[in-house]
Structure 1
Amino acid sequence: MIRIADLATRPELRGPALRLGSVGGEFLGRGLTAGLASSARLAAHWPEFFLVLLDAAETPVARAAAIPVAFPADDRSELPDHGWDGALVWAAEDHLDGTPPTTLVALEVYVAETARGQGIAGIALAELKERARRAGLDSLVVPVRPTGKPPLESIVDYLATGADPWLRSHERLGGQFRKVAPFAMTVIGTFAQWQEWTGVRLRDGPNVVPGGIAPVIGSAAQDLGGYVEPNVWYEHPL
């Protein structure tokens, strides 16, 4: 039996929840907006939307984190092409401006490897939907990371295969495709930084790195590598 807690009532669960693992390569935490999504900030501002799912032994088996934003709004007629990064910027803008939120954005749903295949991700999404309802919000949207995408395949070609397990999971749970976020996560670093983050020595042109679903484009002349990852926006009706 799965029980759901949150950091508003169980702040001590933050560390155990983070130790479950992470999505993608460590380098994803090096993006410009990654600091906005730190668990400490989410716990400080929106602890009721940071969920920890526990098994019968009270052991964390999954976590889910979400942030409220104002969408749609006068200057926000579409979900952002910047996806995950864009949602974090919106949340920061709204917090600074005191703008009331209307939509919940799920930043992450992560299930421990030992607990996968039991429908736990669906339980987490259902709880986020319920919390959005209770908060008086209008919708739940998710910039879904197509985890099975080969790094050198275009997102358009990959979506045409219909093969991604995480995208299919969202569709089975009632998620409705809205649009592709072509530059949902962006990470820029020097050649030395990329080698530190990934163990890969970059060369000019596209480079495949562990945990990446897009290539790192290297330029030796500029000593820069740029990673731009697509995600896919889904809406889960409330």
Structure 2
Amino acid sequence: MEDIDSIEITALAERPALVGRLHEMTETWPRFISEDAVAGSLLPLVPEEFPEYCVVATHGDRVVAKGLAAPFRADLPDREETPDGGWDTVLTWAFTDRRQGRAPTVASALEITVDAAYLGRGLSPRMLSGLRDAAARQGHDTLLAPVRPNAKHLEPRVPMGDYARRVREDGLPADPWLRVHVRAGGSVVKVAPASMAVSGSLAQWREWTGLPFDHDGDVDVPGALLPVRCDTAHDYAVYVEPNVWVRHRTRRTA
């Protein structure tokens, strides 16, 4: 195994030439996740629009991980720092605020992705720390994260609230990714029940998953955190994913 200490993590704003290379990694996200309408339209723009909030990890000349984040204004009417709409909502707010020239009040992590060849080497906590430091450099004392618990897909029928409350004997979350956040000083705030949404025809879902989607009701899909709701009479299926809001304090700089 190559030395992980030789991996360099920097703000993307300091290495703008890498923006176009973030897609080079081998990712492990479920195929259907990219069909979220907000993800498809806005997430690819985050590295260019908010590079000062994003971080990139390199091993030599290879891009091995990325951390994406964006700021938004939370003190407007009908807004809050941890909306029920989670990931989709804060990403939409970030671009709306940028377009309208509003000063942000808080930053939210959006994605940490590690190249498949570098999984299991302790890189994710370092990327989280990098995002926290990036938010601090922009004057924020808080980094939020709509966390996608990475073992929840093994129990799709368990309500997210029940799952997120599970802890080990040492008091840390049972879920590995939630545990990383809490070990890093994060505090679990609440569940975002409708953080992402993917809808499509049954033919699309068959293409995305390889499953038949031939009966009404809930369908367990590999990689999904809860079942996908299928309606054969109307030829569509919908997946609404819950995430878990975690709040981090940053090391704020002047």
The answer to whether the Cα contact below 8 Å between 1:144 and 1:167 also exists between their aligned partners in 2 is yes
| Structure 1 moving runs of 4+ over 6 Å | none
Deviation, 1:22, is 3.3
Higher mean C-alpha deviation, range 17-26 or range 81-90: 17-26
Deviation, 1:116, is 3.1
The answer to whether the Cα contact below 8 Å between 1:102 and 1:136 also exists between their aligned partners in 2 is no
Change (3 A) 1:116 1:143: same
Residue deviations 1:22-67, cap 9 Å, x none? 353121111121134332x113211222321112x33222110001
Structure 1 residue runs without a partner (length 5+): none
The answer to whether the Cα contact below 8 Å between 2:10 and 2:130 also exists between their aligned partners in 1 is no
Q: What does residue range 1-80 of structure 1 map to in structure 2 within 5 Å?
A: 1-39=6-44, 41-55=45-59, 57-80=60-83
Residue deviations 1:194-226, cap 9 Å, x none? 111111121211112232111110001111101
- Which residue pairs with 1:148 in the alignment? 151
- Which residue pairs with 2:162 in the alignment? 157
The answer to whether the Cα contact below 8 Å between 2:54 and 2:131 also exists between their aligned partners in 1 is no
Task: Output the CA distance in 1 between the equivalents of 2:12 and 2:188.
Answer: 30
Deviation, 1:6, is 4.0
Task: Output the CA distance in 2 between the equivalents of 1:79 and 1:129.
Answer: 17
Compute the TM-score of the two structures, normalised by the length of structure 1. Answer: 0.91
The answer to whether the Cα contact below 8 Å between 2:27 and 2:115 also exists between their aligned partners in 1 is no
- Which residue pairs with 1:233 in the alignment? 245
Compute the TM-score of the two structures, normalised by the length of structure 2. Answer: 0.85
Aligned AA for 2:58?
A: L
The answer to whether the Cα contact below 8 Å between 2:83 and 2:89 also exists between their aligned partners in 1 is yes
Task: Output the CA distance in 1 between the equivalents of 2:162 and 2:136.
Answer: 36
- Which residue pairs with 2:128 in the alignment? 125
The partner residue of 1:174 within 185, 188, 192 is 185
The answer to whether the Cα contact below 8 Å between 2:47 and 2:68 also exists between their aligned partners in 1 is no
Aligned AA for 2:142?
A: S
Secondary structure of the corresponding residue to residue 33 of structure 1: helix
Structure 2 residue runs without a partner (length 5+): 1-5, 168-173
The answer to whether the Cα contact below 8 Å between 1:24 and 1:212 also exists between their aligned partners in 2 is no
Deviation, 1:89, is 1.5
The answer to whether the Cα contact below 8 Å between 1:102 and 1:139 also exists between their aligned partners in 2 is no
Aligned AA for 1:50?
A: C
Task: Output the CA distance in 2 between the equivalents of 1:48 and 1:24.
Answer: 25
Q: Percent same amino acid at aligned positions?
A: 40
Change (3 A) 1:175 1:198: same
Count of residues in correspondence between the two structures: 236
The answer to whether the Cα contact below 8 Å between 1:206 and 1:216 also exists between their aligned partners in 2 is yes
Secondary structure of the corresponding residue to residue 38 of structure 1: helix
The partner residue of 1:220 within 219, 229, 232 is 232
Deviation, 1:78, is 4.5
Task: Output the CA distance in 2 between the equivalents of 1:99 and 1:21.
Answer: 36
Measured on the aligned residues, the alpha-carbon RMSD in Å equals: 1.9
